[in-house]
Amino acid sequence: MATPIRVNRIGLEPQIYKGGKTTLCAGCGHNAISERIIDAFYEMGVDPRQVIKLSGIGCSSKSPAYFLGGSHGFNAVHGRMPSVGTGAMLANKKLIAIGVSGDGDTGAIGIGQFVHLMRRNLPIIYIIEDNGCYGLTKGQFSPTADLGSKLKTGVVNDLPPIDTCALAVELGATFVARSFSGDKKQLLSLLKAALAHRGTVMLDVISPCVTFNDHEGSTKSYAYVKDHDDPLEEVSFVPFFEDITVDYEPGSTQEVTMHDGSRLYLRKLEEQYDPTDKISALKRLHETARRGEFATGLIYIEPDRDDFLELLNLIDEPLATLPLEKVRPGKEALDEIMESLR
């Protein structure tokens, strides 16, 4: 008798969610993130044919080739993935968009498009694979490199870092989280919650560069992050299609109802932390940064705000496939316009 095949709720095998063989360095944090993406999309039963993968340029941006091989993907130009993703979602609002960027791709060349993506609250999962350096061009500092961190050549970074999470909260993203590539459980929970959120998910994943930035002087090395990680809360995610079981003590959990009806439970490490409060989210980010620590977990969530596509009052069907009679007004329309010009 053949071994029973493991499938998810839409009957697809895990294999379907895999991508091409990675060309990144062995041990690169980005590969772990790709694996969590595969797990999250499989476990949530997302149809890969409805997914679009987007990226800019850099090590991070190569990674969409390494997950969800059955999904369409677009490796855009450096720092400009948000606009390509925006266009694609305008064309077909039924798609599920996941974009992978890096700290240089987002914080330097792409900061303009990043800012406006956050403002628009476009439905997209935007992941920054954040290693504080430019890996593909051999290790130069990126704008998220911490003050005082040191290149292998001994050059010290004397500019303050951009905190992409604080920026995203400030700009209007409705789901802002930070995690660490090596934290399987937290990252998977956040990705699953991201899939249930309608609006912009900004997920900054610290992902140490094993080749150029994993040394003692760097604040984004494995050793440094493991010692300075400050989990905000333990995240447990219950999708709407599974039985909801609660094993959290009342008073120690916070429930967040997601756009699709599923619920996110946050085990709070601190009673006063409230991820729906923008001001406390920003305060927390600044406080942990001052201590040289990273706050991880779900930092901010605003589940009810209209996303960009809702604001545009788009017809239910994808614009891309509307039939001619819906997109070409009749002759009487042209006649009316002509008459108004005579």
Partner 1 sequence: MSPTDLAVQEQQAAANRQRVVNDFSIQIATVNGSGSQTANMVLLRSILLMGVPVSGKNMFPSNIAGLPTWYTIRTSKRGYVGRKKEVDFLVAMNAETAKEDVLTLDPGAAVVYDAPLKLDTLRNDLTFYPVPFDKLVAPVCPDAKLRRLVRNMIYDGILANLLGIDMALMEKALGKQLGKKGKAVILNQGALKAGWDYADANFTKQDPYVIEPMNETAGKILIEGNAAAAIGCMLAGVTVVAWYPITPSSSLCESLISYMKKYRIDKETGKATFAIVQAEDEIASLGMVIGASWAGARSMTATAGPGISLMGEFAGLAYYAEAPAVIFDVQRVGPSTGLPTRTAQGDLLQAAFLSHGDTKHIMIIPASVEECYEMAQQAFDLAELFQTPIFVMMDLDLGMNHWMSDGFKYPDKPINRGKVLTDDVLKKIGEWGRYKDVDGDGIAYRTIPGDGMPAYFARGSGHNAKGQYSERPDDYVENMDRLARKFETARQHVPKPVIQNNPKAKIGFIGYGTSHYATEESRDQLREETKVETSYFRLRAYPFTEELAAFVDAHERIYVIEQNRDAQLLQLMKLELTPERVSKLRSVLHYNGLPIDARSVTDDVLAQEGFEVAKKTTARMSAGSAGGE
Binding site for partner 1 (CB under 8 A): 48-50, 52-54, 64-65, 69-77, 80, 82-92, 94-95, 112-113, 115-116, 309, 312-316, 318-322, 324, 326-329, 331, 333-335, 337-338, 341-342
- Least separation in angstroms between CB 290 and partner 1: 31
Give 49 or 283: the residue with its C-beta nearer to partner 1.
49
- What's 168's DSSP letter? H
- Least separation in angstroms between CB 319 and partner 1: 4
- Check: CB of residue 97 under 8 Å from CB of residue 124: yes
| Torsion sign (Cα): 80, 42, 236, 227 | negative
Residue 251's identity, in one-letter code, is G
Structure-block tokens of residue 173: 């993203």
Give 153 or 313: the residue with its C-beta nearer to partner 1.
313
DSSP E strand boundaries for 150-275: 175-180, 200-206, 229-231, 233-238, 253-257, 263-268
Give 244 or 311: the residue with its C-beta nearer to partner 1.
311
**d(C-alpha 320, C-alpha 326), whole Å:** 11
- Least separation in angstroms between CB 67 and partner 1: 11
The kind and range of the H/E element at 295 are strand 294-301
- Least separation in angstroms between CB 339 and partner 1: 8
- Least separation in angstroms between CB 42 and partner 1: 17
- Least separation in angstroms between CB 240 and partner 1: 22
Give 226 or 326: the residue with its C-beta nearer to partner 1.
326
Neighbours of 80 (CB within 10 A): 16
Residue 143 — φ and ψ, nearest 5°?
-70, -5
**d(C-alpha 315, C-alpha 306), whole Å:** 15
**d(C-alpha 264, C-alpha 182), whole Å:** 22
Q: Is 254 helix (H, G, I), strand (E, B) or coil?
A: strand
Give 61 or 189: the residue with its C-beta nearer to partner 1.
61
Give 80 or 278: the residue with its C-beta nearer to partner 1.
80
